Chain A
Amino acid sequence: MFTHNFKYTLKTLFKDRTLIFWTFAFPIILGTFFNMAFSNIENSESLNIIDIAIVENEEIKSNEIFTTVFENLSNENSEDRLFNTTYVTEEKAKELLENKDIIGYMKLEEENPKVIFNTNGIDQTIFKYVVEEITQTSEIITEMATKEISKQFVTGNFNIDYDELYDRIIKLAFEQEVELNNISNKNLSYTMIEFYTLIAMTCLYGGILGVVAINKSLANMSPQGKRVSVAPTNKIKVILSSVCASYLTQLIGIAILFVYTIFVLKVDYGNNLGLVVSLALAGCLAGLSIGTFVGTIFKTNENTKTGIIISITMLGCFLSGMMGITMKYIVDKNIPIINKLNPASMITDGFYSLYYYDTLDRYIFNLTSLLIFSAVLIIISYISIRRQKYDSI
């Protein structure tokens, strides 16, 4: 009986085209959109080479410090290249600025540099900052030279080697490397969260499969259910085989999605495949448990039940960052309890902790929460359908 019902539930589920569209195809389509829209975001956010201009006048030609610094910072072969600098007349600079070919230009007049921008922005701030730094460093050089010369005078040395002094100070002021120890984690690609919420959505959408399968075995839901109920078989066995069939369908769907996201969209789930699979299994179980819960507790028609599952899933995914990654962070930071109870967030956060953290504490916490969540819902559904009897329907 178990295998018979199992086989036919599988067949019914796979023949329902709308169902297969929403649980199999829709996540893949959505993932493709995500990939198209987000693939460039992180590149655009990092610092790109900034196009600037400098107004070419007599003063800038004779000012070695400015020209050298901008030459070094615009060096095409340098790793620290910051600018793409052109020297132009002031009219040309204005024109370039208006056409957005440059973000701003600098004009040096009577030793005072002035920068001209069209709007505010981070690139503009950096340009202004570099110009300021040049002025400041010039000041430091003057200070150091004065101090050094007076030191030499005090010690009675009037025969100063000015060339050597100049070289030494310039070296100190300009070429002094500041070493900073970068201890940040390498996996910092936050658009990955979008794909994790996509997996979460697919896991929870699997609940719809559960609802459809269970409705076929419940007497008060469908004619097939009535037929099944009058059959002299163990009801739990029938329901269990329906549930198992929908779990299998769900796993096939999620496996296709994983293959697609890993090999086509190049999503990074971390290195531990075993843990990724366990989390996906637990996630699907959570989706299934929502399905059985909604399917057994709510006494309404199939469409409403599907509607309830879609609403729960979308709300859960919204809170775990599908429509804006910051949302997950805001909820996690301010009202953590919500995302601790939200299965979509448990799945997303589980993948996030595998990707970002080296330790497994957070992953295990999420995995356990998912299992407890599923267990609670399944027990409630079990209690509500056992010993169900109808004199008439």
Chain B
Amino acid sequence: MTAFKTFFKILNKNKFIVIMYTVILIAFGGFNMQTSDSSINFTASKPDILVVNNDEEKGITKDLIDYIKGNSEAVNIADNEEARNDALFYREVHYIVYIPENYNEDFLNGKNVNLEIKTCDTAESSFAEMLVSRYIRTANSYREIYKDENGKISKENEEKLISKINDTLSKNTEVEITSKLDTNSLSKATFYYNFVNYSILAALVYVVSLILSSFRNKKIQRRINVSSTTYRKINRELLMANIMFSLWLWGIYVLLSFVLIGKIMFTIQGALYIINSFIFTMCAATIALLIGSIVSNKNAINGIVNVIALGSSFLCGAFVPMQWLPDTVLKIAHILPSFYYISTNEKIATLENIDVSSLKEIIPNMAVMVCFAIIFVILSNAVSRKKRRED
């Protein structure tokens, strides 16, 4: 059991790396978790709109502000232009409306005042603009009805006008939601398990290939060769240790997912996430096997694993959701095992009910990962055999 024990001795020296990537997983996985509670009723999206009012807050000005506030998410920004510009750039605010001085007076006197706005051209900004335009259009239309001969709105008509505007704008359309899926929790689970891709590749692959490569050190190799233990036995022990460590790390990440995501993990979807991540972990362990047998320079391993982990995570959608990636990138990603792992996660999130036909979408992906694993094992065997002969 010398080799087996040595594996864990070296692992113990590198535990900091494993801890660090686990903390990163918790930080990013948890960062995304604090969204609103899940519901199966329709909830309208509320854009983040900021109103900068330079007019007195009364009459039509107040009503416009109330209308915007009722249909948008409240945002808290310091009262200066630089803070507002920053907020717009970093998309904390998607739309800013500036109400000019005397807006209320001008409106009542029949003047059409153009509002100034700032937008960052997202879908939310476009929606915000629709909200603001609709209010103004409605207000202008009713002004036509209530104006007197001079084109002005009298004091007694002002209240009527405002209540009429609100009356019209509060007309709702009936909505029905067909899906019974808890999409909110499922997307949290998908995000977490997609991020696991990075942690597994960066922590597991790095540490394991580091350990395996230290056994390939020429002097160590010679010492092993003169010992009475057979080559086969040492390899078996290392393989066992590798599998144990992979299982252990995978187990911790699964446990963490129960803590961070909660009850959705107890459903069939949850089980599928776990199975999928298990297959991926095993595939990652074989990647480590291959790297450990090819590369013996420790600094080089660090560089190679970093590039593989970051590359797979960026190109396959572990950090940026797959639907936002350009098509060409996704095509390139097909050559990486992570692609099959992450696209399975994305599919699980949309499965309404689990039956044979839905499993048919998932199983081919898992099969591809297993194929990758087999290829990596064969390759690493071939490489180490060749290296042994050269010795």
Question: What is A's interface to B at a CB cutoff of 8 Å?
Answer: 18, 21-22, 26, 29-30, 33-34, 36-41, 44-48, 94, 97, 112-126, 128-129, 131-133, 135-136, 139-140, 143-144, 147-148, 172-173, 176, 178-185, 188, 190, 323-326, 328-329, 332-333, 352, 356-357, 362
Complex interface: chain B residues within 8 A of A185 (CB): 85, 89, 118
- Find out whether the CB atom of B315 lies under 8 angstroms from the CB atom of A37: yes
A359 to chain B, nearest CB (A): 9
- Name the prevailing secondary structure of the B interface residues: helix
Complex interface: chain B residues within 8 A of A40 (CB): 324-326
For the complex, what is the distance from the CA of A132 to the CA of B114, rounded to whole Å? 25
A183 to chain B, nearest CB (A): 5
**With contacts A117-B178, A183-B118 known, is A44 near B137, CB below 8 A?**
no
- Find out whether the CB atom of A129 lies under 8 angstroms from the CB atom of B314: no
A–B Cβ pairs within 8 angstroms, 12 of them: A26-B303, A33-B310, A37-B314, A47-B127, A48-B123, A117-B42, A128-B42, A139-B171, A140-B142, A178-B140, A179-B114, A185-B118
- Find out whether the CB atom of A356 lies under 8 angstroms from the CB atom of B117: no
- Find out whether the CB atom of A47 lies under 8 angstroms from the CB atom of B329: no
**With contacts A26-B306, A133-B134 known, is A125 near B176, CB below 8 A?**
no
Asked if B44 is at the interface of the complex by the 8 Å CB criterion, the answer is yes
For the complex, what is the distance from the CA of A117 to the CA of B180, rounded to whole Å? 11
For the complex, what is the distance from the CA of A22 to the CA of B183, rounded to whole Å? 41
With most chain B CB atoms within 10 A of its CB, the pick from A26, A33, A121, A190 is A33
- Find out whether the CB atom of A132 lies under 8 angstroms from the CB atom of B122: no
- Find out whether the CB atom of B300 lies under 8 angstroms from the CB atom of A18: yes
Q: Which of A94, A113, A120, A324 interacts with B177 by CB under 8 Å?
A: A120
- Find out whether the CB atom of A37 lies under 8 angstroms from the CB atom of B90: no
Complex interface: chain B residues within 8 A of A48 (CB): 123
**With contacts A37-B329, A114-B176 known, is A22 near B120, CB below 8 A?**
no
- Name the prevailing secondary structure of the A interface residues: helix
B313 to chain A, nearest CB (A): 8
Q: Which of B119, B130, B183, B320 interacts with A182 by CB under 8 Å?
A: B119
- Find out whether the CB atom of A116 lies under 8 angstroms from the CB atom of B118: no
B145 to chain A, nearest CB (A): 5
Question: Considering only CB atoms, which chain A residue lies closest to B169 in the complex?
Answer: A136
List the 6 closest pairs (A to B, CB-CB), nearest first.
A184-B118, A329-B90, A33-B314, A47-B126, A18-B299, A47-B123
Complex interface: chain B residues within 8 A of A147 (CB): 145
B93 to chain A, nearest CB (A): 11
Complex interface: chain A residues within 8 A of B176 (CB): 114-117
Asked if B138 is at the interface of the complex by the 8 Å CB criterion, the answer is yes
Q: Which of B43, B132, B173 interacts with A132 by CB under 8 Å?
A: B173
For the complex, what is the distance from the CA of A63 to the CA of B141, rounded to whole Å? 22
**With contacts A188-B88, A190-B90, A325-B90 known, is A136 near B171, CB below 8 A?**
yes
- Find out whether the CB atom of B130 lies under 8 angstroms from the CB atom of A126: yes
With most chain A CB atoms within 10 A of its CB, the pick from B132, B172, B174 is B174
Question: Considering only CB atoms, which chain A residue lies closest to B312 in the complex?
Answer: A33
Q: Which of A34, A37, A114, A190 interacts with B89 by CB under 8 Å?
A: A190
- Find out whether the CB atom of A38 lies under 8 angstroms from the CB atom of B320: yes
For the complex, what is the distance from the CA of A376 to the CA of B1, rounded to whole Å? 55
Beyond A44-B323, A190-B89, A356-B89, 20 additional pairs, beta carbon < 8 A: A18-B303, A36-B314, A36-B332, A46-B123, A46-B126, A47-B123, A114-B176, A117-B175, A120-B42, A120-B43, A124-B42, A124-B45, A125-B127, A126-B123, A132-B172, A136-B171, A140-B138, A183-B98, A184-B120, A356-B85
Complex interface: chain A residues within 8 A of B123 (CB): 45-48, 122-123, 126
For the complex, what is the distance from the CA of A328 to the CA of B89, rounded to whole Å? 12
- Find out whether the CB atom of B45 lies under 8 angstroms from the CB atom of A121: yes
Question: Considering only CB atoms, which chain A residue lies closest to B300 in the complex?
Answer: A18
For the complex, what is the distance from the CA of A128 to the CA of B176, rounded to whole Å? 11
- Find out whether the CB atom of A135 lies under 8 angstroms from the CB atom of B43: no
Complex interface: chain B residues within 8 A of A114 (CB): 173-176
Complex interface: chain A residues within 8 A of B319 (CB): 37
Asked if B30 is at the interface of the complex by the 8 Å CB criterion, the answer is no
Complex interface: chain A residues within 8 A of B78 (CB): 333
Asked if B136 is at the interface of the complex by the 8 Å CB criterion, the answer is yes
Question: Considering only CB atoms, which chain A residue lies closest to B94 in the complex?
Answer: A45
**With contacts A29-B307, A143-B145 known, is A178 near B121, CB below 8 A?**
no
Complex interface: chain B residues within 8 A of A125 (CB): 44-45, 127
- Find out whether the CB atom of B174 lies under 8 angstroms from the CB atom of A115: yes
Complex interface: chain B residues within 8 A of A323 (CB): 28
Asked if B168 is at the interface of the complex by the 8 Å CB criterion, the answer is yes
Within 8 A of A (CB), among B224-252: none
- Find out whether the CB atom of B178 lies under 8 angstroms from the CB atom of A113: no
For the complex, what is the distance from the CA of A143 to the CA of B45, rounded to whole Å? 30
A193 to chain B, nearest CB (A): 8
For the complex, what is the distance from the CA of A30 to the CA of B144, rounded to whole Å? 60
Complex interface: chain A residues within 8 A of B133 (CB): 178, 180
For the complex, what is the distance from the CA of A93 to the CA of B306, rounded to whole Å? 47
B188 to chain A, nearest CB (A): 14
A264 to chain B, nearest CB (A): 15
Asked if B129 is at the interface of the complex by the 8 Å CB criterion, the answer is yes
- Find out whether the CB atom of B171 lies under 8 angstroms from the CB atom of A144: no
- Find out whether the CB atom of A188 lies under 8 angstroms from the CB atom of B121: yes
- Can you list, as one digit per residue, whether each of B323-336 has a CB less than 8 Å from chain A (1) or not (0)? 11110010010000
- Find out whether the CB atom of B42 lies under 8 angstroms from the CB atom of A136: no
- Find out whether the CB atom of A115 lies under 8 angstroms from the CB atom of B89: no
Complex interface: chain B residues within 8 A of A132 (CB): 171-173
B351 to chain A, nearest CB (A): 12
Complex interface: chain A residues within 8 A of B320 (CB): 37-38, 41
For the complex, what is the distance from the CA of A78 to the CA of B47, rounded to whole Å? 25
Q: Which of A97, A144, A362 interacts with B145 by CB under 8 Å?
A: A144
For the complex, what is the distance from the CA of A182 to the CA of B120, rounded to whole Å? 10
For the complex, what is the distance from the CA of A184 to the CA of B176, rounded to whole Å? 37
Asked if B86 is at the interface of the complex by the 8 Å CB criterion, the answer is yes
Asked if B91 is at the interface of the complex by the 8 Å CB criterion, the answer is yes
B318 to chain A, nearest CB (A): 10
- Find out whether the CB atom of B315 lies under 8 angstroms from the CB atom of A328: no
A357 to chain B, nearest CB (A): 7
Question: Considering only CB atoms, which chain A residue lies closest to B135 in the complex?
Answer: A178
Asked if B124 is at the interface of the complex by the 8 Å CB criterion, the answer is yes
Complex interface: chain B residues within 8 A of A123 (CB): 123
Q: Which of A26, A34, A122 interacts with B45 by CB under 8 Å?
A: A122
- Find out whether the CB atom of A128 lies under 8 angstroms from the CB atom of B138: no
With most chain B CB atoms within 10 A of its CB, the pick from A94, A122, A131, A332 is A122
Question: Considering only CB atoms, which chain A residue lies closest to B302 in the complex?
Answer: A18
B123 to chain A, nearest CB (A): 4
With most chain A CB atoms within 10 A of its CB, the pick from B87, B126, B131, B177 is B177
Within 8 A of A (CB), among B133-165: 133-134, 136-138, 140-142, 144-145, 164
